[in-house]
Amino acid sequence: MKLSVSARAVAAGGMATALLLAGGAVADAASSAPSRAAAAPDIPLAGVKAHLSQLQSIATANGGNRAHGRPGYKASLDYLKAKLDAAGYTTTVQQFTASGRTGYNLIADWPGGDPNQVVMAGSHLDSVSSGPGINDNGSGSAAVLETALAVSRAQYKPAKHLRFAWWGAEEIGLVGSRHYVNRLATGDRSRISAYLNFDMVGSPNPGYFVYDDDPAIEKTFKDYFGGLGVPTEIETEGDGRSDHAPFKSAGVPVGGLFTGASRAKTAAQAAKWGGTAGQAFDRCYHSSCDTTANIDDTALNRNSDAVAHAVWELSE
Ligand SMILES: [Zn+2]
C-alpha cells in the first residue's frame, strides 16, 4: 500500500525538480534572470541511501548500534571523514568526554569563501544504544554528507565559507554540539551567519516540518517545498531538542528540517501528505527497528534536495 504511494510521489517529485532545473537553465542562458549563483544540483537519492547502507553495516558489525562511546560511533565518523578528505575538505575531529567515554565531533571546511560569513550545516551522527539509528539520525547525516560531496563535485565557489558538522553524543544531551559552541571564541560565534540542523529527515510515515526560527532561513526551506507543491508545517515536536539549540543560545541564526518522530500523524496531515493517520511519524523512533527499512525514500529525497538548496542559497 505505502510502496505504490511512495513510488508515485518519487516520480512526481523528480519531474518537478527537473522542470525547475530546466527553467533555471533557460533563464540563465537568456541572461534574463537576475544575477545569481548557480542553483543547487539535485542530490542523488542513491548516494544518500548508499551512506545509510554503510551506517547500517557499521551498526550490525558493532553490536547493533552507533552510540556515543561505542565502536560503531567512531566507525561511522571514520567512514564520513574518509569521504570528505577524498573530496577535498579540511576535516577536524574534535574530542570530548561525556559519561566517562570519549566522544567525537567531525567538522569539515570547504576551502574558500568569506571567513567572516560562515554557513554551517550539521547533524548528529550518534544513535541511541538500542538501535542502529538509520532515520535518527543516519538520514540527516547522510543528507548533509551527500550535499557536501555535491559541493565538491560542482567545485562550488560560494561567496561565504561553508562548514559541515556531524555531532557526537546528541542522544545523551546535545553534548557534542554544545562542546563545539562553547569552545568557539566570541568573535567566531558572530562569524557564523547560519546554522542549519537536520535530525530525522526520512521518517517512514513522514511529515514536512520546518523550524520556526530565523525567518530568512525558514523562508528558504519553505520556498523550496513550495516549489515542489509540498505543504509544510512549523516544527514543534522536537523544538529545542537537537543540536541547533546551543547555536541558538549563542545568538546564531538557526533553521532546519524534520519529518517527525513518535508523535502521531493527524487525519489532516495524512490528507495533505499521505501516509497513515493515527500512526507515529516514526514507529521505530529510538528502537532496534530503526534500520534501512525505516526510511521513506520520497521524504529522504525531498529533504536531501532541500538541504542542498538552502546551502547554496544561503552561501551565495
Ligand atoms: Zn536525533
Q: Could you say which residues of the chain have pLDDT below 50?
A: 1-35
Which residues have a catalytic role annotated? 170
Q: How far is the CA of 193 from the centre of ligand 1 (A)?
A: 23
Helices (H), the chain: 2-29, 45-60, 71-86, 140-154, 175-183, 186-191, 215-228, 244-249, 267-273, 297-315
Q: How far is the CA of 112 from the centre of ligand 1 (A)?
A: 30
Measured distance CA(151)–CA(48) in Å, rounded: 14
* Residue/partner pairs of 16-24 with CB below 8 Å, 24 or more apart: 16/227, 16/228, 16/229, 17/42, 17/228, 17/305, 20/227
Parse the chain into domains and list their residue ranges. 1-33, 42-315
Q: How far is the CA of 194 from the centre of ligand 1 (A)?
A: 20
Q: How far is the CA of 262 from the centre of ligand 1 (A)?
A: 12
Q: How far is the CA of 183 from the centre of ligand 1 (A)?
A: 23
Helix axes 71-86, 140-154, angle to 10 degrees: 20
Measured in whole angstroms, the distance separating CA 214 from the mean position of its chain's CA atoms is 17
* Residue/partner pairs of 18-26 with CB below 8 Å, 24 or more apart: 20/227
| Virtual torsion, Cα 270, 273, 275, 277, nearest 10 deg | -10
What is residue 239's predicted lDDT score, i.e. its pLDDT?
74
Q: How far is the CA of 198 from the centre of ligand 1 (A)?
A: 9
Best CA proximity match to 131, nearest among 61, 65, 203: 65
Helix axes 140-154, 45-60, angle to 10 degrees: 130
CATH number of 42-315: 3.40.630.10
CA distances (Å), origin 181, targets 34, 134, 145, 243, 269: 37, 26, 21, 10, 36
Q: For 247-298, how does the pLDDT look when each residue is reduced to its tens digit (9 = 90+)?
A: 999 999 999 999 999 999 999 999 999 999 999 999 999 999 999 999 999 9
Q: How far is the CA of 2 from the centre of ligand 1 (A)?
A: 24
Q: Using the 8-state DSSP alphabet, how is residue 282 labeled? A: -
Ion ligand 1: residues, CB within 5 A, are 136-137, 199
Q: What pairing do the DSSP bridges indicate for beta strands 114-124 and 192-198?
A: parallel
